[in-house]
């Protein structure tokens, strides 16, 4: 069943499977699903959900999500098709929320602009990077963000500064509310040799590929790093590398990754997350906090 939301063709689809839209490749259906390609279509989606009394779930690249096998109620709005980009000569770049961070990293590298090399291996979108303050190698989104535009629940657009976003390690104020990132403006460093920036970007990506498992579906890092130790070190030292629940496995190459070895369910992954937390807490008296967003209804087994 489909309902047309705008004259431009954006539709809401009923009982739409979400598994192939997440990097874990698990999860049940959305009660309703829409994939707007413009701000007007996005506003129409929000307006329709409000009129119908439906909760809204934001979905970008699906790389930081674990969605229940039971699916999600309300309207899931996928913003990955919002893709415009604008450059200015001072190193500023304004990018739509759906642009993959890796794509953006290569685009600015080709211009000889420094500041985004660290993001080339991040599997998420610009919108997701703003919401969770994505980062790597000691750099993160807040250090380069000038402002972000969000769509409020009432359909209005608002521009927020980094101070208003209350950034912390791998989170921002947006992670806990219903505003939707539509675009972000970053300040980068122009004037570098494009060949050098491209080489640094390629080296960063190669380093990630040799130290992190990319051969099977995962969500990237599962847990936040509880300083001074890394989550991966704590999990490895707890003897959990290779541990499996169903077809979900702690990666041998990097213990802060959980892999879908083929046929894993969201419940397998959820129960493995809880098992890891329990073992690490017993051994180190420390509770690992998930970096992955866990959405929907789950039951411990």
Q: Phi and psi (nearest 5°) for 27?
A: 120, 150
Residues 6+ apart with CB under 8 A from 65: 22, 24, 27, 59, 219, 292, 293, 295
pLDDT score at 267: 97
Q: Say if residue 198 is in the same domain as residue 236.
A: no
Last residue of a domain, one of 57, 78, 99: 78
Q: Out of 68, 218, 221, 267, pick the active-site residue.
A: 221
The string of pLDDT tens digits covering residues 75-118 is: 999 999 999 999 999 999 999 999 999 999 999 999 999 999 99
Q: Is 147 an active-site residue?
A: no
The string of pLDDT tens digits covering residues 89-100 is: 999 999 999 999
pLDDT score at 299: 77
Q: Is 236 an active-site residue?
A: no
Last residue of a domain, one of 78, 98, 130: 78
Q: Say if residue 105 is in the same domain as residue 183.
A: yes
pLDDT score at 301: 53
**How many independent structural domains does the chain possess?**
3
Residue 220 lies in a domain: no
CATH number at residue 111: 3.30.465.10
Whether the per-residue pLDDT at 176 is higher than 90: the answer is no
pLDDT score at 154: 92
Q: Out of 80, 119, 238, 291, pick the active-site residue.
A: 291
* Residue in 164, 90, 172 with CA at minimum distance from that of residue 129: 172
Residues 6+ apart with CB under 8 A from 247: 260, 261, 262, 263, 264, 265, 268
Range of the domain at 89: 85-211
Q: Phi and psi (nearest 5°) for 96?
A: -70, 155
The string of pLDDT tens digits covering residues 117-139 is: 999 999 899 999 999 999 988 89
pLDDT score at 87: 97
Q: How sure is the predictor about 294, in pLDDT bands with cuts at 50, 70 and 90?
A: very high
pLDDT score at 227: 82
CATH number at residue 50: 3.30.43.10
Three-state DSSP class for residue 209: helix
Residues in the chain: 301
The string of pLDDT tens digits covering residues 200-254 is: 999 999 998 888 898 899 999 999 999 889 999 999 999 999 999 999 999 999 9
pLDDT score at 300: 60
Q: Is 221 an active-site residue?
A: yes
Residue 218 lies in a domain: no
Q: Out of 170, 172, 218, 267, pick the active-site residue.
A: 170
Q: Say if residue 104 is in the same domain as residue 196.
A: yes
Q: What is the pTM of this model?
A: 0.93
């Amino acid at each position: 069943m489909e309902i047309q939301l705008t004259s431009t063709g954006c539709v809401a689809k009923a009982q739409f499977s979400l598994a192939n839209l997440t990097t874990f490749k698990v999860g049940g259906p959305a009660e309703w699903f829409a994939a707007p390609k413009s701000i007007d279509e996005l506003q129409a989606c929000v307006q329709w959900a409000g009129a119908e009394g439906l909760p809204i779930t934001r979905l970008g690249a699906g790389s930081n999500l674990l969605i229940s096998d039971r699916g999600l109620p309300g309207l899931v709005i996928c913003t990955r098709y919002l893709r415009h980009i604008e450059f200015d000569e001072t190193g500023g770049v304004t990018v739509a929320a759906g642009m993959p961070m890796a794509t953006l990293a290569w685009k600015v590298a080709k211009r000889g602009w420094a500041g985004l090399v660290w993001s080339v291996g991040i599997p998420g979108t610009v919108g997701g990077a703003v919401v969770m303050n994505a980062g790597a190698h000691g750099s993160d989104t807040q250090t380069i963000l000038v402002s972000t535009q969000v769509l409020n629940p009432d359909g209005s657009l608002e521009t927020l500064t980094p101070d208003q976003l209350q950034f912390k390690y791998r989170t921002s104020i947006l992670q806990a509310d219903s505003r939707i990132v539509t675009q972000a403006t970053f300040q980068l460093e122009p004037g570098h040799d494009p060949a050098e920036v491209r080489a640094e970007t390629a080296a960063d990506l190669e380093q990630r590929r040799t130290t992190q498992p990319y051969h099977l579906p995962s969500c990237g890092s599962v847990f936040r790093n509880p300083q001074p130790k890394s989550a991966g070190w704590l999990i490895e030292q707890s003897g959990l590398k290779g541990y499996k629940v169903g077809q979900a496995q702690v990666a041998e190459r990097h213990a802060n990754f959980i892999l879908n070895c083929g046929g894993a369910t969201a419940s397998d992954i959820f129960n493995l997350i809880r098992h890891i937390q329990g073992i690490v807490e017993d051994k180190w008296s420390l509770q690992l906090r998930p970096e992955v967003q866990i959405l929907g209804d789950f039951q411990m087994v």
